[in-house]
């Protein structure tokens, strides 16, 4: 199975056409969050429909800059990863959208205890799958992929704690634009694709024996 993943679109869809062939040849498209820039469903709707027109088999979730009504819509469509798990062959995919608390009071934030609960909720749906992909919008705390320009680590402690306990094969995150890159916690490969409007995306190949993923950039 081939998977394409990206996030932090923020309504800027130009790069979607540049990797149209990659999306077309994939089995699954995953969107990690932030479809809009502080937008609601009127803005997110066209983004959602464009992505689904390119790949019917698409899973996504609202990020911290998407108003909660966006998540409600994704849940109604049955394609949300937020607190949900989806099975694709041997692979279980589950997630948590929104963001951990920040000084900026963005529209879709959750306390760390809530994030932990959403992750467990989704994990329960896929716990028997041999390969697991975790999709938190917020990166795990104290890693290479949660550092802002000031040097502070601002990721989610709940996300990190979950990874340390359950060891999913892959963690796909975003949220912190300047921290695009890769890291590991134990056996878990962590990739922050950075903002898709700047060209970052992930290509993964998975089967019942395991998973390999790489961060790529549109040049």
Quote the tokens at residue 90.
């041997």
pLDDT averaged over every residue in the chain:
97
Inform me whether the pLDDT recorded for 208 exceeds 90.
no
3-class SS at 121?
A: helix
Average pLDDT over residues 94-98: 98
Inform me whether the pLDDT recorded for 140 exceeds 90.
yes
Inform me whether the pLDDT recorded for 210 exceeds 90.
no
Give the start-to-end residue ranges of the domains of the chain: 2-217
Model pLDDT, residue 126 = 98
Average pLDDT over residues 202-210: 92
Alpha helices in the chain (DSSP H): 14-18, 20-25, 41-54, 68-77, 112-126, 157-166
Model pLDDT, residue 95 = 98
Model pLDDT, residue 219 = 84
- The span from the CA of 77 to the CA of 12, in Å, is 22
- The span from the CA of 163 to the CA of 39, in Å, is 30
Residues in the chain: 219
Count of helix runs (H) and strand runs (E) in the chain = 6, 11
Say what percent of the chain tops pLDDT 90. Answer: 97
CATH number attached to the domain at 2-217: 3.60.21.10
Inform me whether the pLDDT recorded for 38 exceeds 90.
yes
Q: Give the pTM.
A: 0.98
Model pLDDT, residue 195 = 98
């Amino acid at each position: 199975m081939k998977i394409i993943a990206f996030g932090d679109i923020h309504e800027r869809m130009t790069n979607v056409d540049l990797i149209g062939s990659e999306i077309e040849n994939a089995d699954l498209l995953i969107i990690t969050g932030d479809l809009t820039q502080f937008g609601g469903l009127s803005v997110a709707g066209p983004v959602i429909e464009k992505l689904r027109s390119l790949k019917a088999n698409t899973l996504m979730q609202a990020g911290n800059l998407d108003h909660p009504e966006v998540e409600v819509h994704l849940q109604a469509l049955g394609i949300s990863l937020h607190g949900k798990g989806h099975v694709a062959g041997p692979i279980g995919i589950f997630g948590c959208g929104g963001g951990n608390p920040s000084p900026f009071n963005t529209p879709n934030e959750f306390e760390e205890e809530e994030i932990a609960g959403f992750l467990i909720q989704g994990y329960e749906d896929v716990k028997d799958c041999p390969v697991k992909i975790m999709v938190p919008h917020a990166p795990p705390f104290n890693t290479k992929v949660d550092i802002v320009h000031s040097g502070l680590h601002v990721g989610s402690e709940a996300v990190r704690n979950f990874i340390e306990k359950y060891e999913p094969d892959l963690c796909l995150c975003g949220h912190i634009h300047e921290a695009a890159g890769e890291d590991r916690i134990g056996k878990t490969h962590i990739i922050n694709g950075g903002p898709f409007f700047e060209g970052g995306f992930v290509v993964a190949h998975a089967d019942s024996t395991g998973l390999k993923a790489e961060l790529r950039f549109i040049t």
